Amino acid sequence: MDSITEFFTNGIINLMDAAEKYLENPQDMAGLESTLHQTVDQFACSFLSELLTRCNDEIKKKGVRKNHYDVVRTDERQLLCSFGIIRFQSTLYKDRKTGEYKYLMNQLLGIQPHEKVTTFAEAQVLEEAAGSSYAKGGRAASPTAGISKTAVKDKIHRLQFPADPLPEGGKKKVVDYLYIDADEDHVALQFHDHKGDVQRGENGYKDNCQMVKVIYVYEGKTKEGKSGKRKVLSFPYYMSGVYSGNGNEELWNRMYAYLDAHYDLSQVKKIYLNGDGAAWIKAGTRYISGLVYVLDEFHLQKYLVKMTSHMKDSQCDAKAELRAAIRNGDKKKFKELTKTLSEYETADSGRERVLKAGEYILDNWKAAGIRLTYGKTLEGCSAEGHVSYLLSDRLSSRPMGWSRTGADKMARLRAYIRNGGDVLELVRYQRAQEELPYAVGAEDEKILSCHEVLASERERLKNGKYYECLNHSVEQGVIKRLSIAINRSLYSL
C-alpha cells in the first residue's frame, strides 16, 4: 500500500527529526510525544483510507457483483475514527432485479449509509459522555476531530441494551442470604412532553422533578485490603432507569429474573430488601416471593435524630428508649415516648418535626423492628453512596436539565458500565440491531472476501516493493544524525 511506502519514506524521517530535536532539549518530552501522536495518527488514517478504497475496488472486480449489480457512480465517503477522519471511495450500485440503489461497501463494513463514526470511536464517545458531558464525549471521538453534543445525545437516546447476562456454564449459585438495596435520585427535567410545559407551583418550585431508580443485589460484604477498614459488596449487580408508571413492575420482574437465573432460590434462607420506605421499593415484596423489607439504618437513624435532637444531654438516652420500644414491637410505648418528646419542644415547628418523624417510623414499623432485631444477618444499606456516584455524579450534582429518555438511557448506561459491561461490545450490539441492506441475488456468494485483499497485498509484498522501501528509508545517514544528536546532548550535561 502507498500509505506504508509514504510512512517509511517520510514518516520515519519525521520521527527521527523529532528525536534529534528532543535530544537537543531532553526536558521537552511533551513536544516529542505530540509529534509521535501526529505522525502515527496521520499514518493510521492514510492506511485505513487506502485499505477501504482497495476493498471497494475489489468489490467492483468481483464476478458476483458484475452478475447482479450495475455501477452508478463512485463517491468519496468520510468516517470519523479514533485516529481522525478517514476518506475512501464507495461505489453506488443498482440492483438489476429490484432496481434498488446500494453502496455494497456498507454491507462489508457493517454500517448504515448515514453513519459517520466508526464503532471504536463511538465507544470512546459513549464512555466519555457517561462520565462527564455530551460535549466532552463528542470531543473524545478522535484527537483531531469530533462530533457535536447533539449527535452524542442522539446516540445516547437510541441506545438499546442487551438482556441481563446468564451465569457462566448455566450453574446457579447456592448462598444463604442475598441483599437488595434500593433508592432513587431526583433529576431536573427540561420539559415533560414538550418544551414550555413546566409550571411553577404555589411554593415557587418547578414541577419538573423526575425520579430515577436504582436497585442492586449482592451476596454480602467483604473487607477490602489487608487493613480491612473498608468493605466492598460481593458480586453486586446493578439495575437503573426511570421505570415510571408500569415500569416499576418491569424493574422488579427484571430483578426476579436475574435472581432466578443466577441463584438457587430454594436454598436461600432470606432475601433482605433495604430501603427508605418509598412505595415503589416496598412494592418489590409483591414481585419477589419471600423478600423481607428492612428499613435502612441511615433513614432509621435520621428520623430518630429528628425526634431527639432537642433533648441535648438526654438525647442518647431518649434514642435508646425509642430503639428499645421498636425492638420489642411495643407501639404503645413508642407513641407515648413520641408524645412526651414533642412536649419538650416549645415551638410549633419543633413539635411538628417530632410527630412527623414518629409517624414515619410507625409507617415502617415492622421494617424498623427487623433492622434492630436481626442485625447479625443484615448488612448495612449503602444505597445513598451508590446513588451519589452511580446517578447524582452525572445526572443531578451540577445544574443541568434532562429529558425522560436521556435520564433513563444515561442511568442504564452507567449501570451497564458499573456491571463491567464493555462499551465497545455495546456499540457492536447497536450495529447488530440495525438491519443493513442485503445483497439480493448473491445470497449464496460473498460479495467480497477479505482474504482476497490480503492475498493481493502479499503478492505486492512478494515483489519486493515494501522490502526495498524498508532498506532504503531507514538508512545509515538517519542513524548517524541520531548518534550525533545523542553525543551533543551528552556533552551538554
Do 357 and 384 sit in the same domain of this protein? yes
Do 185 and 51 sit in the same domain of this protein? no
At residue 351, the pLDDT reads 93
Do 216 and 334 sit in the same domain of this protein? yes
Do 268 and 351 sit in the same domain of this protein? yes
* Range picked from 200-209, 224-233, 398-407 for highest mean pLDDT: 398-407
Nearest by Cα to 293 from 367, 361, 182, 372: 367
pLDDT in tens, 373-420: 876 678 778 888 889 989 999 999 888 899 999 999 999 999 999 999
Do 150 and 54 sit in the same domain of this protein? no
Range of the structural domain that residue 210 is part of: 168-403
Do 101 and 229 sit in the same domain of this protein? no
Could you say which of 403, 424, 452 is where a domain stops?
403
Is the predicted pLDDT of residue 158 greater than 80, yes or no?
yes
Which residue would you say has higher pLDDT here, 416 or 452?
416
Do 185 and 321 sit in the same domain of this protein? yes
DSSP output for 262-320: HB-GGG-SEEEEEE-S-HHHHTHHHHSTTEEEEE-HHHHHHHHHHHHGGGGGGHHHHHH
Do 39 and 185 sit in the same domain of this protein? no
Pull the grid cell for residue 228.
480491612
> Looking at 25-29, 207-211, 216-220, 399-403, which range is the least confident one?
25-29
CA distance 268 to 173: 10
Pull the grid cell for residue 21.
530535536
> Looking at 114-128, 132-146, 401-415, 454-468, which range is the least confident one?
454-468
Is 412 a domain residue?
no
CA distance 148 to 133: 12
Which residues lie closer than 8 Å to 357 by C-beta, 6 or more apart?
303, 304, 306, 307
pLDDT in tens, 243-255: 988 899 999 999 9
Above pLDDT 70, what percent of the chain?
85
Is 413 a domain residue?
no
Which residue would you say has higher pLDDT here, 385 or 127?
127
Which residues lie closer than 8 Å to 98 by C-beta, 6 or more apart?
440
At residue 359, the pLDDT reads 96
pLDDT in tens, 170-183: 899 999 999 999 99
CA distance 45 to 214: 42
Is 451 a domain residue?
yes
pLDDT band of 26, cuts 50, 70, 90: confident
Q: How many domains does the chain have?
A: 3
Is 409 a domain residue?
no
Do 132 and 78 sit in the same domain of this protein? no
Q: What is the mean pLDDT of residues 52-67?
A: 84
Do 332 and 227 sit in the same domain of this protein? yes
Is the predicted pLDDT of residue 483 greater than 90, yes or no?
no
CA distance 104 to 258: 41
* Range picked from 112-121, 220-229, 366-375, 386-395 for highest mean pLDDT: 386-395
CA distance 411 to 406: 8
